[in-house]
Copies of this chain bind each other. A is one copy, B any other.
Amino acid sequence: MTQQDLIEQFAIEQLLYKYGFDVDNRDAAAYADCFTPDAVVSGPGFEMRNDVAGPTIDMLSSMYEATLHCVHNHTHTIQGDRATGMTYCVASHIQNQNGQRSKMDMYIRYHDELVKRDGQWRFSKRRLEVVCTTTVPVNPAG
């Protein structure tokens, strides 16, 4: 392993984290920049192509008060300007139904393909394997 390998691994880790921050911040432009222009994002019952960022942000904004994508274990194999890998994530979704707030947690294994262009790593494919979801009440604020 070389210093350059470490730098690339760090850059990919930061992309995994940035994905979570951008989507939770509802920052569509920053989120779009996590993907290549021809990226494909898929999961149980859906597949998105081309503009994956806008519709995702719109959907999350309309359905949830807030989200928090907590990113955990990750491993990536890099070959030149391409990489494949897996990442665990627990994505918490705060819902408000008639004043009753709850937290839906989605347990995700992301299966990813990445490409480095112009010095920046981006997702070209991101497939969500959803292990399960759980929902618990949110405590009253205060």
User: Is the Cβ of A132 less than 8 Å from the Cβ of B138?
Assistant: yes
Say whether A92 faces chain B, with CB atoms less than 8 Å apart: yes
Q: Taking the full assembly, how many copies of this chain does it contain?
A: 3
Report how far A86 CA is from B71 CA in the complex, Å: 14
Q: Which of A29-58 contact B (CB under 8 A)?
A: none
Report how far A136 CA is from B103 CA in the complex, Å: 12
Shortest Cβ distance from A92 into B: residue: B107
Report how far A3 CA is from B4 CA in the complex, Å: 9
Mark A residues whose CB is within 8 Å of B: 1, 3, 6-7, 9-11, 14, 16-18, 20-21, 66, 68-75, 86, 88, 90, 92, 94, 101, 103-104, 107, 109, 131-139, 141
